Amino acid sequence: MTKAELVAKISEDAKLTKAQAQKALNCFIEITTAALKAGDKVTLVGFGTFSVVNRTARIGRNPQTGKELKIAAKTNGKFTPGKALKDLKAKPVKTAQKAKAPAKKK
């Protein structure tokens, strides 16, 4: 589902205009981002928790050359699903199968 599809579904279910639904979704994103930048958690009971994770600096390795390189410390956002999402029974995703090469004729 894309952001536009989410806005359309919110506007339909909440009986809002698409502009109002877009504004509400953008407001949620901005407030959540601001809270995470401030180091706070955003918990939506039954849905999940948005939090901040600090990753320390470390030494990595270039897989092509094998040469060591420094990976800087950084801060990332993290989402931990709540019980309702963990217990969700989703349909299995079908993966595209590679086309098999035709058998060689002898």
Which range marks the domain in which residue 16 is found? 1-40
Q: Would you say residue 106 lies in a domain?
A: no
- Kindly state whether residues 33 and 50 are assigned to the same domain: no
Cα 65 to its chain centre, rounded Å, is: 31
pLDDT in tens, 59-106: 999 999 999 999 999 999 999 999 888 888 767 777 766 656 566 665
Rounded mean pLDDT, 27-46:
94
**pLDDT at residue number 106:** 56
- Kindly state whether residues 8 and 25 are assigned to the same domain: yes
Q: Is 98 or 26 the better-scoring residue by pLDDT? A: 26
Counted domains in the chain: 2
Q: Would you say residue 5 lies in a domain?
A: yes
54/49 Cα distance (integer angstroms): 16
What pTM, to 2 d.p., does this model score?
0.69
**pLDDT at residue number 67:** 94
Portion of the chain with pLDDT greater than 70, in percent = 88
Residue 20 dihedral angles phi and psi, to the nearest 5°? -70, -40
